[in-house]
Amino acid sequence: MLYAADGVRGQPLQHVAQVPAHRRSAARRRHQGQRHGVYRLYKLADLSVRKRRGKQRLKLERVPLHECQTVNEVWSMDFVSDSLASGRRIKCLTVTDDFSHECVDIAVDHGIGGDYVVRVLDQVARFRGYPQAVRTDQGPEFTSRSFMAWAQAKGVRHILNQPGKPTQNAYIESFNGKFRDECLNEHWFQSLKQARVEIARWRIDYNEVRPHSSCGWMPPAKFAAQHRRTTSGAIPAPQQTQE
C-alpha cells in the first residue's frame, strides 16, 4: 500500500487524495491546532483535486443575491437525488441558512412530499426558531397547498425562483455540489438506514469541523455561535465568495 510523501499521519495515498483542496485542508488543520505544510505535501505526493468542466452559457447580466445580515433570515431548500446499491432511489431535502451557511437539516427518504417538508421544518424550528423567509424553486413539494398554508400560518415569506434559473438560489446549489462530491459520491449505500447515518455524520462535520471561506475560514456552526454572542446581534457578513 502506498503512503503519501513525507507522511500525512500515516494515511494511505488513496485516502489522502480524497481530501479537499490544500487551502481548506490547511484551514481545517489550523482549526485543530496543527501546523503542517499541506500545500508542500500535496506537491510532493503529486496530488490534485479534479476540477469540473463548466458549461458554456450565455453571458448575461448577473443579479446578486440578497446578502443576509442575521441567522434565520433566509433558509434555502432544494432536493438532491441518489440511489441505493439495490437501485432504489432516495431523495434528500437539503436546508441551509443563507447567512451562516449552516446546513440546517438533510432529510432522507424514498419519497418526500409537501406534508413531509412541513414536518421537517416544524421539527427543526423547535430548536432554532422559524426563518423570516424561505427560498425554493417551483417544484410540486414547495407549491403544494400544505406548504403554502404552512408558510402563511407561520408568517414565513416564500421566495420562489423563476423556472429554469437555479442561479437564483445559488447558495443551495453550491451546497448541493459539495454534498454530492464529499458525501454521496464517496459512499455506496446498502440501505436507507445507512444513508441516513452517513449523511448525518457528514452534516455534523460540515457544520462543526469543515472550514468555510465565506465564514472567514471558520466552520459555519462556530461562525453562527459567534454571531449570536454579539450584543448588537449583527456581525458584518463576509463577502460571499465561491470556493
CA distances from 177 to 80, 122, 139, 191, 243 (A): 9, 26, 19, 23, 11
Q: Is the pTM of this model over 0.75?
A: no
Q: Do 42 and 79 reside in the same domain of the chain?
A: no
Q: Do 143 and 201 reside in the same domain of the chain?
A: yes
Give the lowest-confidence range in 3-12, 48-57, 78-87, 188-197: 3-12
Helix spans in the chain (H): 13-16, 22-31, 38-44, 114-128, 145-154, 170-182, 192-208, 220-229
Q: Residue 25 is part of which domain span?
A: 1-48
Number of domains present in the structure of the chain: 2
Residue 53 domain flag: no
Helix spans in 74-169 (H): 114-128, 145-154
Q: Do 206 and 164 reside in the same domain of the chain?
A: yes
198-218 mean pLDDT: 91
Q: Do 34 and 80 reside in the same domain of the chain?
A: no
Residue 63 domain flag: no
Question: The CATH number of the domain where 183 resides is what?
Answer: 3.30.420.10
Which set of grid coordinates corresponds to residue 185?
459520491
Q: Do 10 and 117 reside in the same domain of the chain?
A: no
61-120 pLDDT, tens digit each: 344 466 788 899 999 999 999 999 999 999 999 999 999 999 999 999 999 999 999 999
13-56 pLDDT, tens digit each: 444 445 455 566 667 766 666 655 666 666 777 766 666 666 55
Q: Do 200 and 86 reside in the same domain of the chain?
A: yes
134-167 pLDDT, tens digit each: 999 989 999 999 999 999 999 999 998 887 777 7
Residue 120 domain flag: yes
Looking at per-residue pLDDT, the higher value among 184 and 241 belongs to: 184
Instruction: Give the confidence band of 58 by pLDDT, cuts at 50, 70, 90.
Output: very low
**Per-residue pLDDT, 78:** 96
Q: Do 42 and 148 reside in the same domain of the chain?
A: no
Contacts of 158 (CB under 8 A, 6+ apart): 133, 134, 136, 142, 148, 151
Residue 149 domain flag: yes
Residue 160 domain flag: yes
Q: Do 41 and 115 reside in the same domain of the chain?
A: no
Looking at per-residue pLDDT, the higher value among 233 and 178 belongs to: 178
Residue 57 domain flag: no
The residue assigned the cell 496530488 is 47
**Per-residue pLDDT, 31:** 67
Determine the Cα–Cα distance for residues 187 and 219; give it in Å rounded to an integer.
23
Q: Do 26 and 117 reside in the same domain of the chain?
A: no
pLDDT at 224 over 90: no
Residue 135 domain flag: yes
